[in-house]
Amino acid sequence: MTDMSAILDDIASAMAQETGRGRVADYIPELGKVDPGHFGIAVVSADGSMASAGDAALPFSIQSVSKVFTLALALGQQGDKCWTRVGREPSGDPFNSIVQLEADDGIPRNPLINAGAIVVSDILLAERSVDEAVEAILGFVRRAAGDEGIGVDAAVASSERDTGFRNRALAHFMRAAGNLHHDPEETLAVYFRQCAIAMSCEQLARAGRMFAFAGHTAPGSAELITPARARRVNSLMLTCGHYDGSGEFAFEVGLPGKSGVGGGILAVAPGKASIAVWSPGLNAVGNSKLGTMALEMLARETGWSVFGGL
Ligand code: GLU
C-alpha cells in the first residue's frame, strides 16, 4: 500500500502546482462559495486497504455522483422495468439539456443526465414519501460506505431548490409526457436533496466499492448489489458518466467514472480499485478539471484501464 500512498502523494503535489484550476460552479449559489484550492484523492484497493492524499477527508457536495447510487437502488427495486422510462445511450449534450427530451417523447437518453436522474428519483418515490425516499437513498449510501455519518447539506439543497428552474422545466416536461408519476415538486425535492449529499473522497471511494468489486463492499462480504448490476452501472458510467465529455474521459482515463458539478469524480477500476477525487474547479463541460488530470496520472502510473495496454 505504500506504493499507492506514494503515487497519490505525487499526484497531490503535482496538482498543488497547477494554476489553471477551472471554474467553480456558481449556478447553484451555495456551490460558488467553495474554495477552488482544494484537492483530495482516495483509493480503496481490492484487499480493502485505503490510501489517500490532500483534502481526502473533507466533505464536499457529491451532486451528480449521487446518480449512480440512486440508479443502483432503483434497479434493485424495479429491475429492468426502469428501462421503459429511461434509455441507455450517451446524450452528447450538456448535463441539463432539454432539446432531446422533446424529440424523444419525454424519455431521457440515460440515467446519468439530469432528466434521467429525475426519472430515477421518481421511481424511488413509488410508495414512499419524499422524506422516506431520501432516507432510503441515504441508507443505501451509508451502507455502501460503511459510514452512518453521511448526510445531506441542507444549505446546498435549499440553494438548489431556490434556483433549479431548468430542472423544473425538465421535470414538468416529463410529467406532461407521462414519464413522471408524482408531483414534479415532490420528485425534485428528492432529486435536489440527493444531489446535496456531502461526502469526503474517503467516504465516496468506500461507497464505490460495490461497483469496483462486483457488488461487494469488502473482501468476503455479502453482495450489496448483484455483480450483473455493478457491471451495468459501470458500463453506463463509461459511456455517459461525464456528460458530453464522456468520450474524452474514456479516451484519456479509460475507466468508468461519474462526475458532479461539486468537482467530485468517482472512478472504478473493475476488480482493482474504487477511486474518488475532488477539486471544485470545472472544465468547459462541467467536469472537475484537476480531478480529470489526477485520474489520467493515476491511470498512467498504475496501468489501470478497461481497454488494456498501458
Ligand atoms: N444538482 C445538479 C443539477 O441538477 C447536478 C448537476 C451535476 O452535478 O452535473 O444541476
List pLDDT tens digits, range 66-108: 999 999 999 999 999 999 999 999 987 776 778 889 889 999 9
The residue whose CB lies within 8 Å of the most ligand 1 atoms, and thus the one to mutate among 195, 197, 285, 288, is: 195
β-bridge partners, 266:
258, 276
CA torsion angle 284 285 289 293 (round to 10): -120
Q: Does 258 qualify as catalytic in the annotation?
A: no
Q: Does 27 qualify as catalytic in the annotation?
A: no
In angstroms, what is the span from residue 200 Cα to ligand 1's centroid?
18
Domains 2-63+197-302 and 66-194 share a fold: yes
Per-residue pLDDT of 193-235, as tens digits, reads 999 999 999 999 999 999 999 999 998 899 999 999 999 999 9
**Is 260 touching ligand 1 by the criterion CB < 6 Å?**
yes
**Is 95 touching ligand 1 by the criterion CB < 6 Å?**
yes
**Is 96 touching ligand 1 by the criterion CB < 6 Å?**
yes
**Where are the domains positioned within the chain?**
2-63+197-302, 66-194
Catalytic residue among 261, 268, 274, 279: 261
In angstroms, what is the span from residue 264 Cα to ligand 1's centroid?
12
pTM assigned to the model = 0.97
- Distance, in Å, from the CA atom of 168 to the CA atom of 27, rounded to the nearest integer, reads 14
Q: Are 180 and 118 in contact (CB under 8 A)?
A: yes
**Is 194 touching ligand 1 by the criterion CB < 6 Å?**
no
Q: Are 100 and 159 in contact (CB under 8 A)?
A: no
The cell numbers describing 290, all together, are 484537476
Q: Does 67 qualify as catalytic in the annotation?
A: yes
Q: Does 13 qualify as catalytic in the annotation?
A: no
Q: Does 261 qualify as catalytic in the annotation?
A: yes
Give the amino acid at 140.
F
Residue bearing cell 436522474: 117
The residue nearest atom 3 of ligand 1, judged by CA position, is 114
Sheet containing 197-199, strands listed edge to edge, beginning at the edge strand earlier in sequence: 60-61, 197-199, 151-152
β-bridge partners, 19:
none
**Is 287 touching ligand 1 by the criterion CB < 6 Å?**
no
In angstroms, what is the span from residue 241 Cα to ligand 1's centroid?
12
Catalytic residue among 67, 86, 159, 279: 67
Q: Which fold has domain 2-63+197-302?
A: Beta-lactamase (3.40.710)
The residue nearest atom 2 of ligand 1, judged by CA position, is 63
If one counts every other C-beta atom within 10 angstroms of the C-beta of residue 194, the result is 27
**Is 261 touching ligand 1 by the criterion CB < 6 Å?**
yes
In angstroms, what is the span from residue 191 Cα to ligand 1's centroid?
9
β-bridge partners, 199:
60
66-194: CATH superfamily: DD-peptidase/beta-lactamase superfamily (3.40.710.10)
- Per-residue pLDDT for the chain (310 aa), expressed as one digit of tens each? 459 999 999 999 999 999 999 999 999 999 999 999 999 999 999 999 999 999 999 999 999 999 999 999 999 999 999 999 999 999 877 767 788 898 899 999 999 999 999 999 999 999 999 999 999 999 999 999 999 999 999 999 999 999 999 999 999 999 999 999 999 999 999 999 999 999 999 999 999 999 999 999 998 899 999 999 999 999 999 999 998 899 999 999 999 999 999 999 999 999 999 999 999 999 999 999 999 999 999 999 999 999 987 5
